[in-house]
Structure 1
Amino acid sequence: MPGGRLTQEERQRVAAGLAIGLSCAEIARRLGRPGSTISREVARNGGARRYRANQAQQATRWRARRRKPHPVAPVPAGTAGADPLLQRDFEHRFAEMMAGTGVPAMMARVLACLFTSDTGSVTAPELVARLRVSPASISKAVGWLEQRGLIGRERDGRQQRYLIEDHIGYQAWQTSLQSMALWVEFTSQGAELFGDSAPAGARMRATSRFFRHLVQDMNQAAEHWRQTVATRH
């Protein structure tokens, strides 16, 4: 199906296309896939500069281990055996913690709801009922989270069901790496523009070196973790 999951061969073609500077739209056209399928694939697996076919395939295997849930309640169930009031209080504090680290408030609430659900999945109407917000607010929140590879989606009858990624920490780490890579790129440009002899140029050069070093260390740590997890399965 045009919108189905990509094969490993298709992922290799995506990586090859990105390597020669093709846009996601052009890659999608060549593969006969929707543009949104390719753009989500690239965004959730490191972005255009860090997309690797093998890593993307491994991440898909992680997500494929999840079984489709069969909820019996109109709102997502929490952790079995937990006191409902204590659970909701934790969910609220969890969302506040994420908001304090830079995640927009509504996105944090949705993510906290998914984290504390037994199934790790929920539909938009369930989120609307649980968080008591408008469908438009939920749509914006899940779009933001999906763009960053933090949640996925699958068809559940006529509805879309949103899923929290099993290895969300790895995905969040990759998003941070992309942000830091932009700092490296722009501060390097600034250093070249102003020159190292100028205070602004020297400041930017030092900043660029710092983030470059940080990106290298974080990349090594993320790859070590990925390989460690892969050997356990």
Structure 2
Amino acid sequence: MQPDGRRDEEAVRRFVEHFALTLSDMGMPRMAARVFAALMAAEEPGLTASEISERLGVSPAAVSGAVRYLMQVGMAVREPAPGSRRDLYKAPSSSWYSSTVRGGVYQRVADVVQEGVLAVGDENSLPGGRLADMRDFFHYVQGEMGVLVDRWEQARREARTGS
């Protein structure tokens, strides 16, 4: 923020790129990370694909693929822009983390790993045992993340209400 309280757009641009790089380092596709960071930092409640494209200095096609990915994983939503034929893309409500966890992201990984267990024979083989351990880990993480999100939402409510 600038001394007069206004938003520092250059600092926002640097943050968007730094945040996107961090998300990318964690495994998110680079362009999806950039679009998500731009949506999270947007002053407006939503942005059109052309606005995202302009802010990030990328092609509309790159934005299209990125928002499709973000919508699939619950990290962006699409709404019609009032009075326009364009769509607005938004970061979901503050519970974006809830939709990604509750959407079963770890369960999907566990299900794929289970395919591997079956493909190598069963859990009693060396690779089957390794894969079964991985599957069980992701089942465990899925369950624990749901509990963690519930605890976070409770803590957040308490902090906002002062109780």
TM-score, reference length from structure 2:
0.76
The answer as to whether partners of 1:191 and 1:204 remain within 8 angstroms in 2 is: no
Calculate the aligned-residue CA RMSD, in Å: 2.7
Do residues 169 (structure 1) and 97 (structure 2) align? yes
- Residue ranges of structure 2 left out of the alignment (5+ in a row): none
| Counterpart Cα distance in 2 of 1:155 and 1:164 | 14
**Could you tell me how far 1:188 is from its partner in structure 2?**
4.2
**Does 1:90 pair with 2:9?**
no
Q: 2:146 corresponds to which letter in structure 1? A: N
Report the counterpart of residue 207 of structure 1 in structure 2: 134
Q: 1: distance between equivalents of 2:135 and 2:149?
A: 21
Q: Secondary structure at the match of 1:133?
A: coil
- Summarize deviations over 1:79-119 as a string: whole Å, max 9, x none: x6232222211111111111111111111111111111122
Aligned equivalents of 1:195 and 1:151: distance in 2?
Answer: 38
Give the Å deviation of 1:164. Answer: 0.9
Q: Is 1:160 aligned to residue 92 of structure 2?
A: no
> 77, 83, 107: which one pairs with 1:181?
107
Change (3 A) 1:88 1:170: same
Q: Mapping of 1:106-145 within 5 angstroms?
A: 106-145=31-70
| Partner Cα distance (2:124, 2:50) in 1 | 58
Aligned-partner residue type, residue 115 of structure 1: M
Task: Tell me how many residue pairs correspond in the alignment.
Answer: 152
Q: Deviations over 1:59-78 (max 9, x none)?
A: xxxxxxxxxxxxxxxxxxxx
Q: Where does the alignment leave 5 or more consecutive residues of structure 1 unmatched?
A: 1-79
Between the two proteins, what is the percent identity of the paired residues? 26
Partner of 2:76: 151
Give distance in 2, aligned partners of 1:128 and 1:187.
Answer: 36
Whether the aligned pair in 1 keeps the contact of 2:32 and 2:69 (CA below 8 Å) is yes
TM-score, normalisation: structure 1: 0.56
Q: What amino acid does structure 2 have at the position aligned with 1:198?
A: S
